[in-house]
Chain A
C-alpha cells in the first residue's frame, strides 16, 4: 500500500472547469468564438434601451430630414452622423437592429420553449406509454412533418389573425408568431425524446422504480426526463437558430412582426425596397446581424451535439 495523498477536494468551480464538457469547449475554437458572438448579440439586444443612441419607436425623436443618411457620414441637412446610417424615416439603423434583434431573440426563445414543452411532453408520453397513445402522437407528427414548417406556421398565423379582432392585431402579432413557430417545430423534439425514452425505458433502473410501485408519471418525470435532456438541449439550440430564421422569413413575407415593432426580418423587408436605389445599408446591416446570430447559434449547436455525443468521446 503506497501512501499517495488523497486528491484535495475540489471546489465546484474547479470541478466544472476540469469536466469533460469544459475541456471539449476549451479545445474548440469555433465554439469559443461563436459563443462569444452569441453572448455579445444577446447582451446587446437585452441592453438595447441603454446602448441604442436613439429610440426608433418614439416618433417624437425622429427627424424626417435625417432619412437615408449613409453610414458614418454627416447628413447633408442636419449634420447628424449615424454609425450604420438611417432608413427612409430617419431611424438609426444601428438602433433598429438592436431593438429588432430583441424581438427576434424573444420570439425565437419563446417559440423554442413552447415547441420543447409540447415536444418533450408528447415524446415522453409516446415513448413510455406506447400502444395507441404512441400511434396517435407519432402519426400526427408524421403528417405534420410532410408539410414545410414555414407553411404550417403561415397557416397557424393566418387562422390566428382571422380570429383576433383588428384592433389587437399588432399587439397580438408577436404572440401569434411564437405560437405559429412553436406549433410547427415540436415534432423534432417529440421524435428524439420518444426514441431516447424507448432506450431508457428498457433499462433496469426504470424497472427498479416500477417495482417499488412508482406511478408512470413519477417515473417519466424523475427518472427518464433527466436522462433524455442531452439530445433535447442540442435540438433546442439548433431549433433556436431555425426559429429565428423562420421568424425572419415570416416577417419578410409580411405576415410576422408589424413595422411598428420591427424584428430583423421586418427590417430586411423594409430594406430590400431601397436595395436598387443605392441605400444598401438599410438592407445590409440587419441581414448581417441575422446572419451572425443564426450562424453562431448553429455552430454552437453543432459543437454541443459533438460534445454531448458519448460515441464521439
Chain B
C-alpha cells in the first residue's frame, strides 16, 4: 500500500511575541512557540492513523497543517503526491481539496447558525458550482438522520446530531481522507459510541482514510490501526494498535497507559503522572521528556533521540529496547 498522506520533518513555529513596542520597552526577547517539531509519518490508504497526546502536544496543529488551514514552517505534507503549501497548479490543489475533509471538535461552533442544514451540507459542492439535487437529503440519511431535517437550522439539533451533520458535510465532496480533530470529545459517552460506529461503518462502505486526533485512549483503541504518540510537538512512538497497547516502548507511552482510568481497577490507588508538560516556548534540551522520565540519564539531557525502528514500532528514546 502506498501512503496517501506522507508527512516529512514537519515543523511549525508560532510567533507568540508581545507587540514590537512592548519588546523594546520591556527588553523582552521574541517568543517562538514550536508547536510541531520534526514530525514524520505516513498514512496508508484505507487505514486509520491516530495521533494521541496531551493538550498542547501539537496534535491539532498537525491536523490543520495537513488540511491546509495552517502553513508549515518547515518540512512537507504530501497528499496523493501533492504538497498544498507549495503546489501552484490550481487544478491539482482543487482536486486535493475535494479529497480531504475535516470534522471538528466542537459541533456547536462548526455549523453556521444562520444557515439551513441543506446549505451547510451542500456548501463544499455548491461553492465549486457542482450539482446538489437531493445531495443533502441523501447524505443525511446516510449518517442516520432524516431527509426532512435538511430544512432545519443547526440549533434544532443535539450535539450528536450536529456531529452527524458535520460528517455529512465532510462526505459531500466525496473525499478519500477525513481528518477528525477530537470528533467525540464534546459528546456524551453514550453518543460517542454511536458517532464512532457511524464513522467505522462509513469507512468500510466508502473506503475512507482517517487521520484521527484524540486524547482519549479508549476511543483510539476502538478506532485506530496505527497510533502515533506526540509529546511537546514531537512524535515519540508509533506502532500498530495492539503492539502499542500490549508493549509500549517509550516511557511516556507507558506513563499515559498507567494514568488512564481502568474499569477493573476500582479502589486501587494509581500514582498520578509526575510533572507537567513543559513550556513549549523554552523546551528542555535533549529529549523533551527527560524532566519527567524515570529512565533519564545524562545523555537524555543533551542529545535529542532519533526515531529508531524496533520491530513494527518506531520510537524516539535512547533507552527503549
Contacts and interface: CB of A to CB of B under 8 A. Distances in A.
A153 to B, nearest CB: 33
B169 interface: yes
A18 to B, nearest CB: 14
Interface in A264-292: none
Interface stretch (B6-14, B98-106, B241-249): B98-106
B15 interface: no
For A204, A214, A218, the residue with the greatest tally of chain B CB atoms inside 10 Å of its CB is A204
Interface in B123-176: 123-124, 127-128, 169, 173
B112 A205 contact: yes
Interface residues of B, number: 26
A204 B69 contact: no
Interface in A198-230: 203-205, 207-214, 218, 223, 226-227
Interface of A: 203-205, 207-214, 218, 223, 226-227
Interface in B89-133: 93-94, 97, 101-102, 104-106, 109-115, 120, 123-124, 127-128
B69 A210 contact: yes
B68 interface: yes
A207 B97 contact: no
A209 B105 contact: no
Nearest to A202: B109
Contacts of B104: 204, 207-208
Contacts of B111: 205
A208 B110 contact: yes
A210 B104 CA distance: 13
Given A207-B69, A226-B114, A213 B102 contact: no
Contacts of A203: 109-110
B97 A213 contact: yes
Given A211-B68, A212-B124, A223 B112 contact: yes
A213 B127 contact: yes
B305 to A, nearest CB: 34
Contacts of B127: 212-214, 218
